[in-house]
Amino acid sequence: MNHRTPANGPLLGIRILDLTRLLPGPLGTMLMADMGAEVIKIENPESPDYVRVFPPYLNGESVNYLSFNRSKRSLALNYNTPEGRETFFDLLKTADVVMEQFRPGFLDKIGIGYEAAKAVNPQIIYVSVTGYGQTGPYAHLAGHDLNYIGYAGVLGMTGASPADVPAVPGVQLADIAGGSYMSVIGTLAALQARNRTGEGQHVDVSMTDGVMPLLSAVYALHAGGQDVQRGLAPLSGGMPNYGVYVCQDQKYVVLGTLEAKFWNKFCALVQQPDWLGFMLPKNPTELADFKAKIGAIFSTQPQQYWVELGLKNDLLISPVHQLADLEHDPHLQARQMIITQEHARAGSFKTIGVPLKFSKTPASPAWPAPTMGEDTEAILAEIKQTKA
């Protein structure tokens, strides 16, 4: 019987019941599991987490599932049945947090929503992660990351120019920044409030709301009366000294010389003193022309030349890594941001490491993602012992 429990991290002693699926909630609970919380992933065996069937696979195990669910325990429980609900509430009495990701009202209909949970454990913190929140005209709509960033205005600001179609981001901004991260922030804030008041509460995480702070800088310009257009905002294409350029070998570098002191140094090194006054072009045509001049300079040497020049001169020139480059970057290696785990079925696989470093309570992955129901027997035995 498996009795594994977290051994380290700042959240030791916190028990989280995880009813979430796919990416946003599971990644959020995994981050807290890595930080020492005991996360029990509860799946109805009749409708388990859909991500289990998403390719690609390693020996039949979904790499997506492995990447979002490490450091957790797995309980197979049909919470739609009276017996399953009774087991859920027995476990709830010992828990600090429930996190769920169903449409508003769904868990209320089957009898395990916030009000029912609060009646069993008044101190419970119930975190609901949805696309649009628990209230408002869109609350009951289905959606995905692209829908949320569309409504939030983030997609409308993403792209090379006002004339181009908005670009689909390379990562899931609303799911992760608006869902995963906000669910962690909401959970920790509610735990602190409970420490102060002794009361639990319902935390309403809307991925649309949660992604909107990414707009803070450009919306400030808009609120100040500026016409902010896609690809022309200062930090997203509107400054030639802050952008991405292609090198001689067709690889890319970032030029991040935002401050005048760095830009002046760059102009001196590439022997272009007349460029000093072009940090803020007067119009899109001047911007495009000046970007072309900078691009012509970068095209004369391969990526490694420019990266070494940047490192040698503290010049804010860095490579645009491809995914295959990440595990070889010496800084990311030193920070343990690409790690290897050994799974009983999947074997060896690489995944993203723990992003937060704690000096007194270090966080680290406890074990690979569990197989379906791997901890059921042990958890049910613990519940039985608690009731005895």
| Residues involved in catalysis | 175
Who contacts 263 (Cβ-Cβ below 8 Å, separation ≥6)? 241, 257, 276, 279
264 neighbors 303 (Cβ within 8 angstroms): no
Residue 21 and residue 141: Cα distance in Å, rounded?
Answer: 17
Neighbours of 202 (CB within 10 A): 17
Omega of the bond leading into 137 within 30 degrees of 0 (cis): no
- In total, the chain counts a number of residues equal to 388
CA atoms within 13 A on the CB side of 99: 32
Which residues are registered as beta bridge partners of 317?
255
Residue 264 and residue 277: Cα distance in Å, rounded?
Answer: 9
CA distances from 9 to 71, 86, 162, 365 (A): 12, 31, 46, 10
Nearest C-alpha neighbor of 102 from the set 145, 152, 49: 49
Neighbours of 384 (CB within 10 A): 10
Nearest C-alpha neighbor of 80 from the set 117, 52, 47: 47
115 neighbors 124 (Cβ within 8 angstroms): no
DSSP 322: -
Which residues are registered as beta bridge partners of 350?
340
**Where does residue 187 rank: exposed (0-12), middle (13-18), buried (19+ CB within 10 A)?**
buried
Q: Check residue 287 and give left, alpha or beta (phi > 0: left; psi -120 to 50: alpha).
A: alpha
CA distances from 315 to 45, 258, 323 (A): 55, 10, 24
